[in-house]
Amino acid sequence: GVLTQYLNWRWCLYVNVPIAVVAAIGGWRVLPGAARTSARRFDVPGVVLATGGLVALVYACTQAVSAGWGAQEVILLLVASSALLILFVVRETRTSEPLLPLRIVLDRNRGGAYLAVALAIASMFGAFLFLTYYLQVVLRYTPLQAGLAFLPLTLASQAGSWGIASRLMPRLPARAIMAPGALVAAGGMLILTQIQVNSGYLTLVLPAEILIGIGIACVMVPAFSIGTLGVDPRQAGVAAATVNTATQVGGSLGTAVLNTVAASATVAYLAGRRLSPGTVAEGLVHGYSIATGWAAAILALGAVVTALMITVGKPARHGADEHEGRRVS
């Protein structure tokens, strides 16, 4: 908010640069070097296929927001993405040194964790977008005010991470934390479906932010733990990268799909009505409300996926190899 209001939104893109520099220097100085025990080849074709497929998928999603899902460019990008990702899977099953060993994602618990992360982030990113629009376009908050309005969500997320999820993980099965967490976050989304043009921040937005922050934290903390559970230490980096990939793809898909839903609902609401600033604001809020309803449904789906797929007990106490080999049936 401060950067956007007093400098330029592009400055937000520079925030991670000093963090990345410090991380790179710290990793170089602190992390121990590993001696090469054998001559391993890097899976260059796998990198090309995976990168090309994911880039095409994300770009198709971003283009669909403005052009629509039926646009020729979007369809071609989706077809290209599907083809490249299928070829990537075929490649990984045939090479002796795959970029992504498929047993990492085919494990029932890890696969469920990756899906849960993707669904939770898809819902959350979409809600963030609409809540930002609502605060700045409808309620006329400045970028700084909107940024401050999101602070309770951040604090609730921290409280959910450290005060709830981290403490419950040694005591409860993972799905007993993740599924209720997804439903709590879905409840927060349902609160946002009730917003109106003249709704107040304290009456609807604040309670929704608290529920969403706590709920998403209870999904993400166990999911990140399960995402690398049972993986050979040499492949832990691949498993962790898969969690991050689920985050990025889920965020892109969620933003694109929910933005399309909101835009379609707004257009349908305004059709046949005399346009005025008040009517346009009502149409925008109607679109946001419909889209957050979809976001709640996505979180509910995440709760079902978690309950059905994740069978691991207490993730904080399991050994590295206990669940290796369980596959999605």
**What is residue 35's predicted lDDT score, i.e. its pLDDT?**
56
Can you say whether the dihedral through the CA atoms of 307, 311, 315, 320 is positive or negative? negative
How far is residue 229's CA from residue 232's CA, in Å, rounded to a whole number? 9
**What is residue 248's predicted lDDT score, i.e. its pLDDT?**
85
Contact 284, 139 (CB under 8 A): no
**What is residue 80's predicted lDDT score, i.e. its pLDDT?**
94
Model confidence band, residue 263 (pLDDT cutoffs 50, 70, 90): confident
Contact 117, 228 (CB under 8 A): no
Q: Give the predicted TM-score (pTM) of the model.
A: 0.80
Residue 38 has pLDDT above 80, yes or no: no
Contact 262, 290 (CB under 8 A): yes
Helices and strands in the chain: count of H runs, count of E runs: 13, 0
Residue where the block lists tokens 């934390």: 177
Neighbour tally for 78: CB within 10 Å: 18
Q: What is the domain partition of the chain in residue ranges?
A: 42-99, 104-315
**What is residue 323's predicted lDDT score, i.e. its pLDDT?**
45
Q: Which helix (H) or strand (E) holds 127?
A: helix 108-133
Q: Provide the CB-side half-sphere exposure for 171 (13 A, CA).
A: 6
Instruction: Tell me the residue type at 54.
Output: L
The fold for domain 104-315 equals Growth Hormone; Chain: A; (1.20.1250)
Residue 237 has pLDDT above 50, yes or no: yes
Q: Cα–Cα distances in Å, from 306 out to 21, 82, 255, 301?
A: 36, 26, 22, 9
pLDDT digit string (tens) for 84-104? Answer: 999 999 988 888 778 778 888
Within 8 A by CB and 6+ apart from 297, the residues are 186
Residue where the block lists tokens 């809540």: 131
**What is residue 44's predicted lDDT score, i.e. its pLDDT?**
84
Q: Cα–Cα distances in Å, from 250 out to 48, 116, 205, 257, 311?
A: 21, 10, 23, 10, 23
pLDDT digit string (tens) for 111-157? Answer: 999 999 999 999 998 888 888 888 888 888 888 888 888 899 999 99
**What is residue 40's predicted lDDT score, i.e. its pLDDT?**
63
